[in-house]
Amino acid sequence: MAATVIDSVLFGDQFSTPAMRAVFSDANTVQTWLDTEAELARAEAAAGVIPKKAAREIARVAHAGRYDLAALKREMDRTKHPIMPLVRAMAAKCRGGAGEYVHWGATTQDIMDTGTVLQLKAAFALIDAGLKDLEAVLARLARKHRSTPMAGRTHGQQALPITFGYKLAVWLAEVRRHRDRLAECRPRVLVGQFAGAVGTLAALGRKGFRVQTRMMKELRLGTPEIAWHTARDGYAEAAAVLALAAGTCGKIANEVCILQRTEIGELEEPNLEGNVGSSTMPHKRNPATSETIVALGRAAAACVGPALQGLAAEHERFKIGLQAEREFMPRLCGMTDAAIRKTTQVMAGLVVNKAAMRRNLEATGGLLLSEAVMMRLAEAIGRQKAHDAVHAACAEALDKDVPLVQALRKAPAVNKVLSEREIRGLLDPEAYTGLAAAFVDKVLAGGKPARRRRRRSS
């Protein structure tokens, strides 16, 4: 088995995705370093810092396929340094003495930080695309089940009726907020790094700003206001946003797990041909994918702690946080992408059991609608008296295991005001979903109350 599940041949696709593994692969990591070195050289040549011929030669050798990763690894182990082996290898491949201008005025962290940001840029694009797909699936389901009644639950107990579309709309709004957060943090996170040994660009003097600006423009990254070698708030923010997205997926999946329980049976994740629920119990249909998503959400959250600890970086450069980032950021991106993709798969094939939802609405013999009776009764005798009367009737219904309508008919405070027909009408769950459907419409409309269509006069 691999050291991490993300790199495992057997389990890699449960905890990551092929596309995200490609972003953080060794080959692509080296390529981002080479891209950074090449654009640095081009920017320095344009500013007259190094010869243009040297910049062209450096760009020519800036392709990961030209380098032996195993040889780089051996040199990294020997030198205890991540970038110098690559710089030396680049210099050796350059012709006409151009190799002397590789890495001119840069420090190792400039190259590594910018490389990581380039990877994060690609990772953000994958994750946003996944969230967009999830958003579309949730919107479609919310529209379809706008008025499908089900029991709303608080503290694990039945509370009041809602619609399944309402529950979906809550998830949909949350996913949209994560897309907003991802977009809003891009200008703060996707910023390159070129600052030199202590961040002052002393090796380039006044030309430093010109080189830095052009370099970041060509890399299509933001230009730093000042060095962020020890200002790791951008990575901490990115980690938090990614963990939030994975956490929402975990929340959704956990709800599927709960509502798929045999005693509830309202939802079921897709049961594709060939799925095996148990090695010993042939009847089992376990929410295996949803359980994995819950685990991914929890594991993603664990990456936020190291990201926050990285804020306490010392002096002008500090390696400890950088080392931790190289370990948790690829994992976090992989787990978040996997959580989103798997949640989309579950939602796209979700089995919704309307009959079970209706059965569960009726499971308490009307107790689910106690508020409806209380509020109607309160109009006649006041809220507190109404609450006490209905509360006593509910207690009797529970203690004697009788329908609530029976207990209410025996309560003098109730039957003086409400007929049995009126009580039965109040105990209809479909008549007491409040503005659930309207909230679905509002979310589907992008947060604005949906306008009612006017009927055309005949």
Q: Across residues 391-418, what is the average pLDDT?
A: 89
Q: Quote the pLDDT of residue 260.
A: 94
Predicted pLDDT at 321: 79
In a domain, 73, yes or no: no
Domain assignment of residue 140, given as a range: 108-193+228-357
Residue from 16, 63, 81, 155 carrying the catalytic annotation: 155
Single residue among 311, 327, 357 that ends a domain in this structure: 357
Whole-number percent of the chain with pLDDT over 90:
76
- Whether 338 is covered by a domain: the verdict is yes
Same domain, 406 and 263: no
Is 328 inside any structural domain?
yes
Task: Name the pLDDT band for 1 (thresholds 50, 70, 90).
Answer: low
- Alpha-carbon distance of 210 to 216, in angstroms, equals 10
CB 338 within 8 Å of CB 14: yes
The domain spanning residue 262 has which CATH number?
1.20.200.10
Please state at what angle helix 164-189 crosses helix 108-144, rounded to 10 degrees: 160
List 81, 278, 391, 419, catalytic entry: 278
Look over the chain and give the mean of its residue pLDDT values, rounded to a whole number.
91
Burial class (CB in 10 A: 0-12, 13-18, 19+), 122: middle
Contact status, residue 300 vs residue 248, Cβ threshold 8 Å:
no
pLDDT tens string 83-113: 999 999 999 999 999 999 999 999 999 999 9
Q: Is 155 a catalytic residue?
A: yes
Q: In terms of domains, do 284 and 414 share one?
A: no
Contact call for residues 117 and 23 (beta carbons, < 8 A): no
154 strand-pairing partners: 157
One domain, residues 307 and 246: yes
pLDDT of residue 196: 93
Question: Which pLDDT belongs to residue 75?
Answer: 93
Whether residues 254 and 400 fall in one domain: no
Alpha-carbon distance values, 69 to 4, 73, 74, 420 (Å):
20, 6, 9, 81
The reply to whether 351 and 374 lie within a common domain is no
Same domain, 328 and 306: yes
Question: Which 8-state DSSP code applies to residue 315?
Answer: S
Largest Cα–Cα distance in the chain?
103
**9 has a pLDDT exceeding 90:** no
For the chain, what is the domain count?
2
Tell whether 44 is covered by a domain.
no
CA distance 305 to 84: 30
- What values do phi and psi take at 142, rounded to 5? -60, -40
Would residue 23 count as lying in a domain? no
Q: 122 and 240 share a domain?
A: yes
For residues 265 and 373, membership in a common domain is answered with no
pTM over 0.75: yes
Q: Return the higher-pLDDT residue of 130 and 451.
A: 130
Cα 263 from Cα 173, distance rounded (Å) = 29
Domain shared by 386 and 336, yes or no: no
Q: Are residues 234 and 322 in the same domain?
A: yes
In a domain, 95, yes or no: no
Residue 39 lies in a domain: no
